[in-house]
């Protein structure tokens, strides 16, 4: 697909990932007037009438659906109903009205939380349905996974070209550092930086530290999404990842060293670890549209810590 000839709506385009996707699309030559971002103040995407109005106003030929209500383990435990409803409703209405509007391509961003709790590592796309997701984020994961089924059904019945991408945990400059909803990397960076500034003797982290995660630098993910939008047209879901695994304990130690915090790191084992392991098989993305992560984890982590310290100088 020649993206320079399309009118592209990016839902969630003002968010963390969305800003990087916009940059990648502009770098591909998409004209400014053809790159459109519906703002939540103007369009409530959980409301079908608002979604219909958005399609009428913006007349997209391609939709990249990034918008989501999402957070870390604590936020998922506090908002299971809202996360299920909001994410299912947004996707469902956007896909249905894409069909009605004759959109040429719909790109749905899924979630690693959709995989079963005990998926063999590395996660392969064909394992997506082999069990129930980890309980703390199952409502969010199942809502997103239902949209894969919807896209496949709409492809079969209506010919809608919908693709489904499964990014692993993202991180990078501009991430969400709100302690009420942040994921593990920004949460730990914020804790260590503030503890160092206050002169605290210790920092507490959730769980045992034994769970593993894989992390993808946000600009790499944005590049993968744009590559898939341009090159991939199949119904099967595709993982986007960096192909490595690190324990939360090792991650916390890396961040502590980067920040320069010299106090004690303690683990609050009354809090959950979440899914025991996460690491993706990324061979399908490499084979179908040539995607491989480029930013090394240590370099990406350093950039993220530096960005936070630079943009939050007074917080303690």
Q: Could you give the C-alpha distances from 97 to 6, 61, 84, in angstroms and in order?
A: 18, 12, 20
Cα(128)–Cα(120) distance, rounded to whole angstroms?
A: 11
Find the Cα–Cα–Cα–Cα dihedral 161, 214, 24, 144, rounded to 10°: 30
CB 282 within 8 A of CB 216: no
CB 172 within 8 A of CB 218: yes
Q: What is the largest CA-CA distance in the chain?
A: 62
Cα(278)–Cα(168) distance, rounded to whole angstroms?
A: 8
What 3-state DSSP class applies to 191? helix
Q: ∠ CA 201-205-210 to the nearest 5 degrees?
A: 130
Cα(224)–Cα(286) distance, rounded to whole angstroms?
A: 10
Say whether 140 is catalytic.
yes
Other C-beta atoms closer than 10 Å to the C-beta of 273 total 18
Cα(1)–Cα(201) distance, rounded to whole angstroms?
A: 55
Token pair 């990087």: residue: 20
Q: How many Cα atoms within 13 Å fall on the side-chain side of residue 309? A: 16
For the chain, the C-alpha Rg in angstroms (whole number) is 19
What does the block give as tokens for 34?
A: 């053809």
163 phi and psi, to 5 degrees? -120, 160
From 55, 140, 154, 308, the catalytic residue = 140
Q: ∠ CA 75-76-81 to the nearest 5 degrees?
A: 115
Return the active site residues. Answer: 140
């Amino acid at each position: 697909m020649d993206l320079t000839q399309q009118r592209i709506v990016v839902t969630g385009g003002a968010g963390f990932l969305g800003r990087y996707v916009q940059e990648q699309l502009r770098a591909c030559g998409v004209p400014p007037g053809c790159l459109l971002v519906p703002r939540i103040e103007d369009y409530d995407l959980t409301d079908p009438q608002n979604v219909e109005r958005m399609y009428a106003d913006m007349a997209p030929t391609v939709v990249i659906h990034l918008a989501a209500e999402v957070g870390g383990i604590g936020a998922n435990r506090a908002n299971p109903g809202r996360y299920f409803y909001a994410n299912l409703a947004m996707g469902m209405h956007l896909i249905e009205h894409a069909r009605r509007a004759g959109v040429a391509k719909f790109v749905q961003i899924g979630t690693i939380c959709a995989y079963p709790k005990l998926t063999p590592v590395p996660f392969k796309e064909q394992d997506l349905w082999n069990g129930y997701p980890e309980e703390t984020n199952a409502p969010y994961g199942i809502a997103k996974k239902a949209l894969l089924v919807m896209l496949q059904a709409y492809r079969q019945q209506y010919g809608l070209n919908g693709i489904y991408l499964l990014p692993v945990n993202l991180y990078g400059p501009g991430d969400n550092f709100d302690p009420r909803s942040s994921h593990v990397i920004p949460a730990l960076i914020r804790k260590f930086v503030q503890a160092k500034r206050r002169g605290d003797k210790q920092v507490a982290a959730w769980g045992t530290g034994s769970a593993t995660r894989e992390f993808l630098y946000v600009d790499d993910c944005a590049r993968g999404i744009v590559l898939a939008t341009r090159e991939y047209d199949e119904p099967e879901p595709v993982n986007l990842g960096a192909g490595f695994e690190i324990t939360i304990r090792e991650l916390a130690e890396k961040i502590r060293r980067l920040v320069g915090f010299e106090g004690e790191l303690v683990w609050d084992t009354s809090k959950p670890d979440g899914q025991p392991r996460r690491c993706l098989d990324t061979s399908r993305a490499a084979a179908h549209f040539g995607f491989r992560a480029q930013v090394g984890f240590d370099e990406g982590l350093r950039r993220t810590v530096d960005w936070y310290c630079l943009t939050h100088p007074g917080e303690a």
